[in-house]
Amino acid sequence: MEILAFGVQSDEKPLMEKAFAGHHDVRCLDVFLNEDTAPIAAGYEIISSSVNATLDNRVLQTLAAGGTQMIAQRSTGFNNIDLRVAERLGLTVARVSSYSPYSVAEFAWTLAMAVNRRIVRASNRTRDFDFRLDGLMGRDLRGRTVGVLGTGKIGEAFTRIAHGFGMNLLGWDAVENPACVALGMTYVEKDRLLAEADLISLHVPLLPSTQHLIGADALRSMKDDAILVNSSRGGLIDTEALVVELRAGRFTGVGLDVYEAEAGLFFLDKSLEVVADDTLARLVTFPNVVVTSHQAYYTADAVTQIIDTTVQNVLDYRAGRRSENVLVPAPAVS
């Protein structure tokens, strides 16, 4: 059996082929799964999708009509998949429930330090042999307060690094993480965290209840010189409201690895095109903002774990096994 994998990056392809070797053949495509590309999957029982795939009603209908029975998504998030439609169509859907939390946590800190110490501006200057320090002053983080929204595995890894910096730790989550409490974290209401934190990092999933978790009111409640980092999902932040605050001269820095309208943009080369997204175009012009293209997870360690889990999900499906990674199980055989 041959598996069809959409949205495979060039660095990812050899890892995919190696992991599937001895189990199934895999055909890797660099195009992303959406309404235009879904017909390519005709005749493939199993397809693998990437985080920026579009798996809405129309795409799922096309896949099912073409004979697809199983979707193995190579990501933890699944907000891009209409699970109700998948279940109605009898499609099995699996994801990667976890991978190296350090990849994302370390990258979140990379963004935080980049905006705090003006690394991008400094690097661009020195390329032009401009070695002035004007406008490059940052702040010590030791003794300041970090607010971690979401203290699961990634949030915990981020907190451990913050503890190493000697920061005061505030957390917000539905359930307290004992490991974070042991590090000295105090769990508080979201409003208090936003008002007191010098650095805020988001590590919660995108759900209907967390859509625009950081909206206009939340942004206004933050300190004028706060640092905001999002390496989770773009929809957690109301980007238009963020732009309004940035235009008002607020925030020491904002580091974003995700963007709520990133589908169709991120992972693609748009450098020779006119990007019609006015919000994104304005966002990247602010000197205190760093935007990267959803790369926090992109380490050899994490990608290898993601692919290995994807292979196991396929093997489990073929064997009729169900694991914690299954979002929509195979229909019962009568």
- Enzyme catalytic residues: 233, 262, 294
Residues 6+ apart with CB under 8 A from 56: 35, 82, 85
- CA 189, 245, 80, 53 torsion-angle sign: negative
What is the helix (H) or strand (E) element at residue 278, kind and residue range? helix 278-283
- Exposure string of 307-331, with b = 16+ CB inside 10 Å and e = fewer, is bebbbbbbebbeeeeeeebbbbebe
In 3-state terms, what secondary structure has residue 89? coil
Among residues 260, 256, 249, 197, the alpha carbon closest in space to that of 229 is found at 256
- Determine the Cα–Cα distance for residues 54 and 264; give it in Å rounded to an integer: 9
